[in-house]
Amino acid sequence: MKRVVVVGNGMVGYKFCEKLRKKASHEAFSVTVFGEECRPAYDRVRLSAWFSGTSVDELTLAPAQWYAENQVDLRCGELVTHIDREQRVLRTHRGTEVSYDYLVLATGSAAFVPPVPGVEKRGVFVYRTIEDLEAISAFGKDCRRAAVMGGGLLGLEAAKAVLDMGLEPHVVELAPRLMPRQLDQAGSDALQSRLEALGIHIHLGKQTKEITGNGHLDALVFGDGTQLDVDMLVISAGIKPRDELARQFGLAVGPRGGVVVDDHMRTSDSHIYAIGEVALHEGMIYGLVAPGYAMAETVVDHLLGESKPFQSTDLSTKLKLIGVDVASFGDAFAETEPSTPIIFQNAREGLYQRLNLSADGKRLLGGILVGDAGAYGQLSALAKSGATLPPHPEDLLLGPRGGGEGSASQGVENLPDDVTVCSCENVTKGMLCSAVKDGTAQSVGDLKKCTKAGTGCGGCMPMVTDLYHTTLASMGKRVRKVICEHLDYTRQELFDLIHIKEIRSYDDLLTQYGKGDGCEVCKPAVASILASLWNDPILLQDTIQDSNDRYLANIQRGGTYSVVPRIAGGEITPDKLIVIGQVAKKYGLYTKITGGQRIDLFGARLDQLPDIWEELIHAGFESGHAYGKSLRTVKSCVGSTWCRYGLHDSVSFAIEIENRYKGLRSPHKLKSAVSGCIRECAEAQSKDFGIIATEKGWNLFVGGNGGAKPQHAQILARDVDKETCIRYIDRFLMFYIKTAEPLMRTATWLNKLDGGLEYLRDVVVNDCLGIGEELERMMAQTLEVYKCEWKEVVENPELRARFTHFVNADEPDPTLAYVPMRDQKIPAKGAW
């Protein structure tokens, strides 16, 4: 029996043990693992989740029991201090001596701390271990403002932690852009705008020269002479390999650190291997988990006599940074060969997507995605496979011509079997499909368990799920697109279950029909269903569908909020108009009439929101739900009341429609319009549902959107009277709410609906399923319980108390800054 000793029990050290035990018999190798920390290996990739309630047990990759069951001798809290390479013996700080035949160094890395004067002061932390997080959390209870040094992946994760603690976060980055190794300037700009909209202050091109304070830090002084006053500093400026043992006992190391290894991960001592962030392969230190896992597998194969050399690993990565999708893959910066970029950018939405095509336009080389990385899995696989692109590669971003979903998802089943889907575990498409076809995987959860795909960073899960469903469909089996591994139901099944069983909370649903603690996929999906069915005030729910629901307002640039009262149909009395003006003047709010015929007020502080709404509600206004996945506006022209072309009273009908469906929660936002004639001044055919007057009545259009993928609405019913039109809208909206996936607009839902518009017409108009009256009854029940959410907050002291900027003080945010523009104010440049 060969004796294998592993020094380091991080993610890569654990993965080595798992792969060795999976491939080799227990009799062939004995395994001993020394871990410096006091607990088994845990998921450092998801470390920030600890601040939002994820427990250490949930982050743990495998409990101590797993090591015992697999005959792995785990020694936690024990530091290796000496290696005798001649005798092949190592010693620990406790005096333990262990002999080895092969030694695997998986000591990982430590946080890089720049040599800045004052770095030793109290209040300065690094962001690396559970203990670091516990110390940050304890210290942060007495702080208001915290800085994070580093604007890369680790730094932005730390900024999320600061935000989750309720502190005012500042990110300080030496480079001129965020995530300089993954994003180009435009991608970084898009990410920056999204982060700033969440209240995170970004400081670029700042070199910290000194940390000031008398024992406790109080400010960072920069090279340009400016300074930033803070109560706490979290350093997350990079990593340095933990190569102390290798240096001390004569192994070859690189000039800038790292244990030099060959293609089989062997060090300068053939009996010692190095893997993960401590290993230097061809001058490269890999700071991602996927290359570390590949190195672990390389060593296992070499120990078993197989010669599979480690190759430079794909550095593609997909993350959700503070709720913002960010991904880069392949040749993201177009550096390897001549290329032509395709770029889609929406600065208003903080959306940036770039694809780098080969010079002949036939291959995808790489790309960058910010704001929407839903197609990452397919795009990354296309880049790896070198497959020929469709005739119009721009469709990969913008969707097929004629509207509908993007075609990046259409070719998942056409990719070659040897394309790597999960880089962390080196799982190919063929391996996944085989597990489904031979019956090993009966669910997406099974597929993860038996192949390990998706158990690393998780970025491949959309593609893994698609492959599972398309493989089942190719076998002629029924496909159930369940919400997630915690709730083994489709959205429609959950909707019916919640409705029939009258379940009123997420926790009750999970207790009765789910497992585990839930996740960020099922929580907002269930929140949407609960809101659509019961229409309880959103702040009384235990989960929310959208982060803006937390404060019943959209957070804007600079950390302020918008106030949007409902103005049904765009009609407003002079008295109400005066009140809006008075409120805007009193609180110094930027005022704008929007395209949806409402007056938006911008620049409100969080603590001002209840006071502002109290005055508006007293004047007869209600919440405009600009923050919710619900009905936003019903736009109208002046119709027959004033227009000489108007056929019917479109204003009155629009007001009736808006007042009927106000507060109706749905999978995505809803917009509507009523035009008084075919001249279409209200632009009804660009709405989720629109109504146009005819000489005989009204035409009803559905499924139009004006977002990033514009699509005209399609006519559902012609020349119907007002009562019939409302009945059809009730049925249409409730059928959409009942069957659409989370965050799916009506246009996308209609495109995906089997049978399309004809089937929808059969259901809504012809009542082919016999559910018309039930849909109407469900709508009536939902509308009957409507309450203005802001009125509930104003009249409820407990809810009102939530609207404070600091969790431990009543003072307003002192950092908000504005500049004048056309007799109003806007956020200062530094706050953008």
Residues making up the annotated binding site for [4Fe-4S] cluster are 637, 643, 677, 681
- Tokens 């009542």 -> residue: 767
Give Cα 525 to chain centroid, integer Å: 14
> For residue 760, which of 782, 774, 740 has the smallest C-alpha distance?
740
CA distance 33 to 104: 9
Residues 6+ apart with CB under 8 A from 823: none
Question: 755-759: which pairs have CB atoms within 8 A and are 24 or more residues apart?
Answer: 757/703, 757/714, 757/716
The residues facing 320 across adjacent strands are 325
Q: How far is CA 596 from CA 234, 603, 622, 623, 828, in A?
A: 43, 19, 16, 15, 27
Q: Which residues pair with 235 in a beta bridge?
A: 126, 149
Annotated binding residues for siroheme: 681
In 640-696, beta strands by DSSP E: 670-675, 689-694
Partners of 241 in the β-ladder: 109
- For 688, counting Cβ atoms within 10 Å of its Cβ (0-12 exposed, 13-18 middle, 19+ buried), the class is buried
Nearest to 164 by CA among 130, 133, 131, 126: 133
| Sheet (strand 80-84) strand order | 80-84, 89-92, 97-99
Contact 367, 355 (CB under 8 A): yes
Q: What share of the chain is helix, strand, coil (3-state, %, to 5)?
A: 35, 25, 40
Q: Is 728 helix (H, G, I), strand (E, B) or coil?
A: helix
Asked if residues 675 and 650 have their Cβ atoms less than 8 Å apart, the reply is: yes
Q: How many CB atoms sit inside 10 A of residue 213's CB? A: 18
What is the sign of the dihedral through the CA atoms of 715, 717, 718 and 724? Answer: negative
DSSP-derived 3-state class of residue 661 = helix
DSSP designation for 548 = G
Q: Which positions make up the binding site?
A: 637, 643, 677, 681
What beta strand segments (E) does 230-384 contain? 232-235, 239-241, 259-261, 272-274, 279-281, 317-321, 324-330, 339-346, 351-358, 364-370
Instruction: Report the C-alpha gap between 179 and 187 in whole angstroms.
Output: 9
Residue type, 606: L
Strand 590-593 relative to strand 599-604: parallel, antiparallel, unpaired?
A: antiparallel
For residues 444 and 469, is the Cβ–Cβ distance under 8 A? no
Sequence-distant (6+) residues with CB within 8 A of 341 are: 334, 354, 355, 356, 357
Which residues partner with 636 through β-bridges?
674
In DSSP notation, 452-518 reads -TTSSS-TTHHHHHHHHHHHHHHTT-----EEETTEEEEHHHHHHHHHHHT--SHHHHHHHH--TT-
Cβ proximity of 761 and 716 under 8 Å = yes
Of 106, 113, 152, 112, the residue nearest 7 (C-alpha): 106
Where does 662-805 have alpha helices with state H?
A: 722-739, 746-752, 756-764, 772-784, 789-794, 797-800
Alpha-carbon distance of 459 to 321, in angstroms, equals 12
The number of CA neighbours under 13 Å toward the Cβ of 736 is 30
